[in-house]
Structure 1
Amino acid sequence: MDEPVLLREVEARFAVTAASTPGWASPHPEREPLEEEYSRVSDPARWRIEGARALAWTLALTGLGLASREEVGPSGVAASTRGAWRVVPRAAGALSVLVVGTRSDDGLLVDVELHAGEPPVVVLGLDCHCDACDSGSADVLETQDDAWLEVVSGALVHLEAPGRVLTTSRGGWSESWSPGAAGPERGASRLADHEDRDADLAAVRRGGAPDPRWRRVVHGAPWG
């Protein structure tokens, strides 16, 4: 996959999809947020830029012949106000991306989430839109771009054991586990200290198998 070509296509599509959603600078670049900003959303409509970016990615991937788009019906999302579609890669062994968001009046989504694989793994969760957490549209776009690239590049590795989750990306890894769990989860706690974590991840990326205590492995091939 030629990543610069893909990103240029995303930007070209975004120039169209974001025509009604201009970007904005951080509202507090040189100070700490004020207490009242944590309970205030000054301009809810501006967050449609999330949906404009998700649509631009979808159009770029389908336009370059790397994927197709499938609509997801109401039964496939949590609430009637939520809309969704699935971006399905053409490359064998690659993970699809489920785009979910709340529909706005003009059809763009807000509160965008991205999920990969089946059952889905969250690669981009809900963002807080309060004024205090707002750091400007550039950060919003970069965060979503990174999530798409994790899946499209084949970098995402998600491992699960009882009481234990390890997720890696192009920029590092994150983990959560339950050290006080009983029964089978005790093995997961020991796994959290497993010195061969990097070997497990490398094995998955090579198409092999990690430590058998990992009960679920989510990883896909690059999209192109």
Structure 2
Amino acid sequence: MTPDVLRARVAAAYDRLGLPSWPPPRPEGVEPRDEEYSRVSDLHKYRVVHGRAGAWTEVLGALPGVVVERLGPVTAERRAFTRGVRIASPVPGTLPVVLLEQDAGPTEHGDGVDSLHVAVQDTAHLLDYGHPDCGCDACDLGSNDLLENIDDQILSVVAGPFAMLTAPRWTATWHPDGGSMDGGTGTAWDFDDAMRACRRLADGRDVRLPGSCTALVGRSWLEATH
């Protein structure tokens, strides 16, 4: 199976839900107005991310030997999530995907929108941004962009290889199409150091990591699946 086949199956499962879509609210190249940065027009329109999570759960859960574990309310990195699901492949060396959903409503920082976060292995290893990354009107780029970002993030783990480094002050992730580093200012390693280490780990080579840094490395789920 290829990542494109998996995308198509997810898109078909999602389309059956009949959820709304919306275009980018501004023409390409037009900057948001100042008031859009502090405005959230609809807390609940982002419920589409929960539908996308359900489509991914359905499609991945249908792969041979995959185990789907439903989670109740979850706290991860001091954030409260309404529900979650852990999806694990039987292919040796793969990393489970954890999808964490948060319903719109009051939070410690004000009213939050419906959102989805992706983690690997367990709830302690959240990837570096959620969906939507920000729910304000200024950051809204339309539903297609939002759903594509979810697909890209989940596929970065499922299609593999994937590597994640976690240290007390920074986190780095890498896959063949890109990588990112959150934090790291004033630490011994910079972005390039982290990416080199991740690539070596994905290749199965030994890497000497900084103290207190841990690594998660996963191969593709899609090997020997149909």
TM category (shorter chain) comes to 0.7 to 0.9
Where 2:148 maps in the other structure, the secondary structure is: helix
Distance 1:221 1:90, change over 3 A: same
Asked if structure 2 preserves the Cα contact closer than 8 Å seen for 1:41 and 1:129, the reply is yes
Distance 1:154 1:210 in 2: 19
**Within 5 Å, which residues of 2 pair with 1:166-205?**
166-175=172-181, 176-179=183-186, 188-189=187-188, 191-192=189-190, 198=196, 200-205=197-202
Distance 2:7 2:194 in 1: 35
1:162 is displaced (CA, Å) by 5.2
TM-score (norm 2): 0.80
Which segment is superposed worse, 155-164 or 37-46? 155-164
Asked if structure 1 preserves the Cα contact closer than 8 Å seen for 2:98 and 2:123, the reply is no
Where 2:180 maps in the other structure, the secondary structure is: strand
Instruction: Report the aligned-residue RMSD.
Output: 2.7
1:41 is displaced (CA, Å) by 1.7
1:222 is displaced (CA, Å) by 1.0
Partner residue, 1:185: none
Partner residue, 2:206: 209
Where 2:137 maps in the other structure, the secondary structure is: coil
1:75 is displaced (CA, Å) by 5.5
Q: Which has the higher helix share?
A: 1
Asked if structure 2 preserves the Cα contact closer than 8 Å seen for 1:164 and 1:192, the reply is no
Distance 2:152 2:160 in 1: 12
Unaligned runs of 5+ in 2: 105-112
Give the length in aligned residue pairs: 208
Which segment is superposed worse, 27-36 or 169-178? 169-178
Distance 1:173 1:113 in 2: 17
The counterpart of 1:144, out of the listed 150, 155, 161, is 150
1:154 is displaced (CA, Å) by 1.8
Matched, 1:135 2:132: no
Unaligned runs of 5+ in 1: 180-187
Deviations 1:98-130 (A, max 9, x none): 1111247xxxx9211111124632224252111
Percent sequence identity is 31
Asked if structure 1 preserves the Cα contact closer than 8 Å seen for 2:100 and 2:118, the reply is yes
Structure with greater Cα Rg = 1
Asked if structure 1 preserves the Cα contact closer than 8 Å seen for 2:164 and 2:174, the reply is yes
1:195 is displaced (CA, Å) by 6.4
